[in-house]
Amino acid sequence: MDEPAAIGRRVQQLRARRGLTQRQLAEPSYTPAYVSTLESGRVRPSETALRFLAERLGTTYEELATGRPAHLATELRLGLVEARRRLATGTAEEAAVHYRRLLTDAEHLDLVPERAEALLGLGDCALETGRLGDAGHHFQAAERLLADEPLPRRVHAIRGRAVAHLLAGELRYACYLLESTIDELGTSGLTDPEALVVLYAAVIGPYMDMGAHARAAHAAELALALAPQVDDPALVA
């Protein structure tokens, strides 16, 4: 949500465009004084108030709160799905072009989750083409964007970094990243099944490469025990 002054200007402009008085906009749920205070930027409106005003003004809550039309964010998320499909069925270079455009759009709209998703996609593209340094950079950037999010939201970025280190021959560091994240999930109580399966599945390869077959089998068993709680069949496979 934008600062109160920006929201207030937006409400005032839309109200004037529709030819409504403050009383007409406010009633029956609010008072003209409240609308006046809001338009002057002296109060931060609640979500309930903004949803009421948005309906009266013929717009959406998202556009009133952020200045961004809701359909733009929806189109961006659909674009990310398409980019993922291109990476799976086409070339990494083609998908990377798509992801870069989406990253620019997400930065322009200041949509943090979508920026992180585009960076993760660019990281995966870089892994596919052997640009391990670029991959690590993209995954680290995604992790920084999500620094304030719960750990399960950062797991895909951490897994990406670990894979980049694995492909660079840094087996032990790849294991350290994955194992320490698994431990942190356990101690924090954030035992998200999908996040754990991502990590357990990723650590199998480094264990096998190091000859630690028993540890690899144990990781696979732990992942499969969680499989009924995971919706992604490719991840389970």
Q: What percent of the chain has pLDDT over 70?
A: 99
Same domain, 121 and 60: no
- Is the preceding peptide bond at 28 cis, omega within 30 degrees of 0? yes
Amino acid of residue 104: T
Same domain, 154 and 220: yes
pLDDT > 70? residue 70: no
pLDDT > 80? residue 154: yes
Helix-, strand-, coil-residue percentages of the chain, each rounded to 5: 80, 0, 20
pLDDT > 70? residue 80: yes
Residue 67 has what DSSP assignment? Answer: S
Question: What is the biggest distance separating any 2 CA atoms in the chain, rounded to whole angstroms?
Answer: 75
pTM for the model: 0.73
**SS3 per-residue string spanning 149-188:** CCHHHHHHHHHHHHHHHHHCCCHHHHHHHHHHHHHHHHHH
Lowest mean pLDDT among 60-64, 118-122, 139-143, 160-164: 60-64
What range does the domain containing 47 cover? 4-66
> Residue 226 phi/psi, 5° resolution?
-90, -10
Same domain, 138 and 155: no
CA-to-CA dists, residue 178 to 15, 40, 44, 127, 142, angstroms = 53, 51, 42, 17, 17
What CATH number does residue 85 fall under?
1.25.40.10
Q: Where are the beta strands (DSSP E) in the chain?
A: none
Domain end marker among 66, 86, 112:
66
CB-CB neighbours of 100 under 10 Å: 15
pLDDT > 70? residue 190: no
Kindly report, residue by residue over 89-107, the tens digit of the pLDDT: 989 999 999 999 999 989 9
pLDDT > 70? residue 198: yes
Same domain, 111 and 62: no
How many domains does one find in the chain?
3
Q: Which residues, at least 6 apart from 50, have a Cβ–Cβ distance to it below 8 Å?
A: 7, 61, 64, 65
Same domain, 74 and 89: yes
CB-CB neighbours of 9 under 10 Å: 15
